[in-house]
Amino acid sequence: MAKKARQRISYVLELDHSSSGGHRLGVNGLAVDRDNAILYSGGRDGVICAWDLNLDLNTHDPDRVASRGAKPRPTTKFRASTQAHTHWVNDIVLAANNTALVSASSDLTVKAWRPELGDTEPHTIGQHADYVKCVATPKSADWVASGGLDRKIYLWDLNGKGKSLEIDVRGEDVSEKASVYAMSVGRNILASGGPESVVRLWDPKSGKRITKLVGHTDNIRAIMMNEAGDTVMTASSDQTVKVWSVTAGRCVYTLTMHNDSVWSLFSEDPNLSVFYSSDRSGLIVKTDTRGTVEMDEGLSVAVAQEHDGVSKVVACGDYIWTATSSSSINRWTNVETGSEAQLPEAFRHLRASSPVSRSRKSSAASEGPGKNEIPAKSILRISNTAAFPPELTDSSESNLTPGALPRKGSELIVDTIVPDIEPIHHLPEETIEGQNGLVKHKLLNDRRRVLTLDTAGDVLLWDLIRCEVIQRFGKKHLEDVEPEVNTLEAVAPWCSIDTSSGNLTVVLEPFNCFDAEMYADELVLAEPVEFREDQRINLGRWILRYLFAKLIDEEIKRDEVQRLKLNEVVEKRRATATRLKALGSITMSSSDAQGYESSDSPAATLRANGANFPMSPGLVIGIATPAPNLPGVPENTTTSSSPLEKRPSQQLTRSSGDDYFSGGISSADVPVKAAATPAGAEQTTAKEETAKPPVETKDKDKDTAKSPSTPFGKKFRMGMSFGTKKLGRSASTSIEKPTVAEEKPEENKSESSSNHEKEIDDNFRGVIQKIHNDYEKQLLDNPDNTVETKITPALPIDAPVLKLPPGTKVIIQEETSGGSANLYRGTVMSVGVDADIIEEKAPMWLGEVLLTNTIPQKDPVKVSFVLHPWKDSLPSIATTDGNNRLNANRMLRVKKILAYVAERIDPQPEEPEPGALKPEEYLELYCNEQLLPNTMSLATLRAHIWKGGSDVVLCYKANGRKEIPKELPQPTLDDPAVSDPGGQTAIPPIATVT
């Protein structure tokens, strides 16, 4: 079975104060529906917009075209829009007689949108393995072709039949540059091009290659084909437009009216006699070759100049629209280049001898120079071989004669005077305004807040957990605002930020989204929650809990229905048993009678793991020896971190009165001889874990034989579970694969075998199947007991209640060779309605987090440090061999380190006196001679105070509020350090009782 692709969860924060319609980032695609006067646009924000033009596109008005000075009133109105894609829209095309708009995107999908048929959302018709760069369709056809960076061309049926043809562009010539950037389709021929600089022609019916056209020297950016299919026109980054004869298989004209990379071509003419082109410099050119014998004799005019490179140009009627890296779309007045065109006097004489002059002579000669005459500086030299207009050189600058010879290939270009090009239009006729999108971001040190800069220059501060803007700074430099809001923290990476689509997208990967935590006492909540001391909140679990809150509610309802059916059978069995009994009757207890009725309230169903207080694994301080000695530790030796690192967090339970952190301080290179396991915790854990073999229970009983007898050790025994490395391993494996032992009862063997027989899906639904299997097992074991719910989402104590904006988008993606493909897209409000889709598409780890409050097990990251008394003012806590190197979880706070120091140098009675000072009140900790705040974590002080790669050196000193003896107290006879001078006993852990 092939390995399943890694899946990730993304959510998109809603941009507020957004006006209706318009793009947030640059526009890449334009398409015009002439009959309905609708303009469609596709942007880098993944949005497709439809605009009502309110123009007559079927009638030519010479007077309107001639009146260049007058600026008409804006007529374009927003019609509709859809968030079609999660990445850039690279190209759009109208297909199926303008009833469907097909888009190609960098999110790897090809989608069709039919707004006139009532579609609010486009549907996916195909998918590539990499960015999809272009789409094309022949007139009136019911299929489209798409090409992308995966070096494939696909033909998709628009009636829902899927892929009809696949063309591998590489073919026999394996080329790294075979990506498809441009494409054009006719009835019987398909042309494609890209970085390979070669135009390839294909048969769209069979997918076979017809021929290839070689001549460009750089990336091919646009392709057009005439209606007959015998002429192909291409635009390239080599600054040329080439015209190819398909029958001859060669280039027949090379047009050089551009001085920069040519990005776009457009024509409505069946013969391509009139076409538009645009380039990277922003120049928009109209070329008219009607009535000419050779294309070199055509007229090429600089219509307008944009501020940015023009990625797409379209024209219809008397209008031209251009798309750039700006979120706005400009409309320009078209220029008359036909027989009515008014040319300068000098150029009229130059064209007198050409065949085209016969069609223009009567109108051009009769009219003198007028206001609407095309300026001489706006007329471009269509090619290097064209005689009209002539190329200007030093000797012929003032001599505009037909005898001016074209430049030869051997001549230097510096001999040529590059004429100043002055476009006819300097300002657009109308601008369809866009909106402001995010273009830059900075994730702050707490990894919960992000600074963003938008296209208007405004700086915003976002909260990634609450999914909202929390502060606005106006028009400032992002780098200037950052020092004002950043904090001195070091938090593990748990998400990545993406603003490529103009929105703030947060991506959660399964391998690290549960790595970051924050202390609950740092939260500012609208409704106060009583947290345990030093409790930490897992950021990934917190946000996922409320992104999918509606889904959890739906699954709880479905679970109640499922259990209701099962419990009805139980009730019938009970009733039958009652009737069969001759003497007396069995009265159901009140608790049994309400076995499933109490589950009507969602709160009543939240039990098991949700009600537990999970301890953070591995939050211990252990004595650490130098690294070279660590590999020598035997396999069955317990290090200071092993008991809690190997135990799943959901199985570690204790009373709410105990400290949030569990752990012990033990030598890293010697085995632990004893560990305390309280009976209370043992019982609680046993209820929630799957059945364990008696061997494991024996091990636990052995482990409880010894326990530290110091006051700190006695405190540690209260409500905590702590075992050996062997025990930790069996505990972790007992969830998914019960350990098989000789002493295992027969009934457990049968249960285990039935578990293996029942296969579950490797997705979100698999978690639900597991729960249902548990219900069936429960009924087999205890047929007279009603089934209690096993859906146990995180409670507010682990994930404080969040009210996320309803427009927050939720996306489930799958990793592919070319990026990531969307499996599901919805909002926080729609995830409940889409439960069936999510169950099928979402990963299993998400189901475990949401429904059982189980996060993937992972070893905690530790920080090594050394503790010294400040200038020997207090006793040293080094062991008898002088080792004072320790390690602990990176999230351990300074006050916990001080509590450890106080336990060693100033042990307190088991029941401290009322009003006694806490260790952090009379001890201080320093690093690099800087006093450390009591709430600072080891990770923060290592990153921002110590700033080094070696062990952190910390110094403790008294602040004078309490007198501390200068010598360590003498150990008593029952101290493990005395009874075991070799140091083989676990040193009492850091733990306090509130």
CA separation for the pair 36, 79 (Å, rounded): 12
Residue 354: pLDDT above 90?
A: no
246 in helix, strand or coil? Answer: coil
Packed helices 694-703 and 725-733: angle between N→C axes, nearest 10 degrees: 150
Cβ atoms of 546 and 466 closer than 8 Å: no
Please report the pLDDT score of residue 412 as a whole number. Answer: 40
pLDDT digits (tens, 9 = 90+) for 430-489: 999 999 999 999 999 999 999 999 999 999 999 999 999 999 999 999 999 999 999 999
Joined tokens for residue 415: 């001999």
User: Quick one: DSSP state of residue 941?
Assistant: I
What φ, ψ does residue 541 adopt, rounded to 5°? Answer: -65, -40
Q: What is the pLDDT of residues 44-63, one digit of tens each?
A: 999 999 999 999 888 877 66
Residue 664: phi, psi to the nearest 5?
-135, 160
pLDDT in tens, 193-212: 999 999 999 999 999 999 99
Over residues 108-129, mean pLDDT: 89
Three-class DSSP labels, 373-425: CCCHHHEECCCCCCCCCCCCECCCCCCCCCCCCCCCCCCCHHHECCCCCCCCE
Q: What is the rounded CA–CA span in Å between residue 400 and residue 388?
A: 10
For residue 694, pLDDT over 80 is answered with: no
Is the pLDDT score of 3 beyond 90? no
Identify the H or E element spanning 41: strand 38-43
Distance CA 210, CA 213 (A): 10
Cα–Cα dist 406/632, whole Å: 84
Highest mean pLDDT among 198-202, 526-530, 612-616: 198-202
- pLDDT, residue 285, reads 96
Q: How far is CA 828 from CA 118, 546, 806, in A?
A: 24, 8, 6
Of residues 844 and 172, the one with the higher pLDDT is 844
pLDDT tops 50 at residue 408:
no
Max avg pLDDT among 443-447, 754-758, 966-970: 443-447
- For residue 711, cis peptide bond before it (omega within 30 degrees of 0): no
3-state secondary structure of 488: coil
Distance CA 641, CA 892 (A): 13
Q: Give the pLDDT band (50/70/90) at residue 391.
A: low
Distance (Å, rounded) from C-alpha 409 to C-alpha 123? 52
Residue 161 tokens, joined: 């039949």
For residue 609, give the DSSP letter: G
Q: Residue 632: is its pLDDT beyond 90? A: no
DSSP 521: G
**What spatial distance separates the first Cα and last Cα of the chain, rounded to whole Å?**
52
Question: 950 Cβ partners below 8 Å, 6+ apart?
Answer: none
| Model pLDDT, residue 65 | 61
User: Does residue 428 have a cis peptide bond before it, meaning omega lies within 30 degrees of 0?
Assistant: no
Both tokens of 79, joined, read 């019609």
Helix (H) or strand (E) holding 605: helix 602-605
Tokens of 40: 């469609």
Q: Identify whether the C-beta of residue 965 lies closer than 8 Å to the C-beta of residue 875.
A: yes
Residue 735, pLDDT > 90, answer no
- Alpha-carbon distances of 245 from 187, 199, 956, rounded to whole Å: 17, 12, 85
Buried b (16+ CB within 10 A) or exposed e, 843-870: bbbbbbbbbbbbbeeeebebbbbbbbbe
Per-residue b/e over 378-405, b at no fewer than 16 CB within 10 Å? bbbbbbeebbbbbbbeeeeeeebeeebe
Residue 585: how many CB atoms within 10 A of its CB?
8
Residue 942's Cα: distance from chain center in Å? 30
Please provide the DSSP assignment of 132-162 as one string: EEEEE--TT-SEEEEEETTSEEEEEETTTTE
CB-based contact 382:300 (threshold 8 Å): yes
Max CA separation in the chain (angstroms): 127
Rounded percentage of the chain residues whose pLDDT exceeds 90: 53
Q: Which residue has the tokens 């097992």?
A: 777
* C-alpha–C-alpha distance, residues 446 and 440, integer Å: 18
Q: Among 667, 38, 28, which residue's Cα sits nearest to residue 309?
A: 28
What's the pLDDT at 740? 39
> What's residue 222's pLDDT?
97
- What is the residue-averaged pLDDT of the chain? 78
Distance CA 576, CA 579 (A): 5
How many angstroms separate the CA atoms of 20 and 78, rounded? Answer: 8
Instruction: Give me the pLDDT at residue 370, please.
Output: 55
Strand pairing partners for 213?
199
What's the whole-number mean pLDDT along residues 125-137? 94
C-alpha angle with apex 678: 672 to 680, nearest 5 degrees? 155
Q: What is the pLDDT of residue 353?
A: 57
* DSSP tally for the chain: helices H, then strands E: 21, 46
What is the reported pLDDT for 393? 46
Rounded-to-integer distance, Cα 347 and Cα 345, Å: 5
Helix (H, G, I), strand (E, B) or coil at 933: coil
What's the pLDDT score for residue 68? 58
Cα separations in angstroms, 232 against 40, 94, 272, 680: 26, 20, 9, 82
Torsion of CA 539, 543, 546, 548, to 10 degrees: -120
| Secondary structure percentages of the chain, helix, strand, coil, to 5 | 25, 25, 50
Q: What is the mean pLDDT of residues 14-33?
A: 84
Residue in this structure with the two tokens 């990153």, named with its chain if needed: 943
**Tokens standing for residue 531:** 């947290």
Residue type for 616, please? S
Distance of CA 77 to the CA centre of its chain: 33
Structure tokens at 395: 């000797």
Within 821-893, residue ranges assigned H as helices are 835-841, 844-852
CA gap 605, 607 in Å, rounded: 6
Cα separations in angstroms, 289 against 65, 299, 786, 833, 926: 19, 6, 86, 58, 82
Per-residue pLDDT of 568-602, as tens digits, reads 998 988 888 888 875 554 454 444 433 434 444 43
- The answer on pLDDT for 150 being more than 80 is yes
Query: Counting beta carbons within 10 angstroms of the beta carbon of residue 604, is it exposed (0 to 12), middle (13 to 18) or buried (19 or more)?
Result: middle
Give me the pLDDT at residue 673, please: 36
Secondary structure (3-state) at 552: helix
For 411-422, letters b (16+ CB in 10 Å) and e give eeeeeeeeeebe
- Rounded to an integer, the average pLDDT of 217-235 is 95
Confidence of residue 783 (pLDDT cuts 50, 70, 90): confident
- φ, ψ for residue 497, nearest 5 deg: -115, 140
Q: Which residue has the higher pLDDT, 888 or 173?
A: 888
Share of the chain above pLDDT 70, in %: 72
Give dist(CA 26, CA 322) in Å, integer. Answer: 11
What number is the average pLDDT over the span 954-969?
84
| CA distances from residue 716 to 160, 654, 721, 968 in whole angstroms, order as listed | 65, 11, 9, 22
For residue 770, the number of C-alpha atoms closer than 13 Å in the C-beta half-sphere is 19
Q: Is the four-CA dihedral 921, 923, 928, 934 of positive or negative sign?
A: negative
For 864-899, write each residue's pLDDT tens digit. Answer: 999 999 988 888 888 777 788 899 999 999 999 999
pLDDT in the model for residue 751: 44
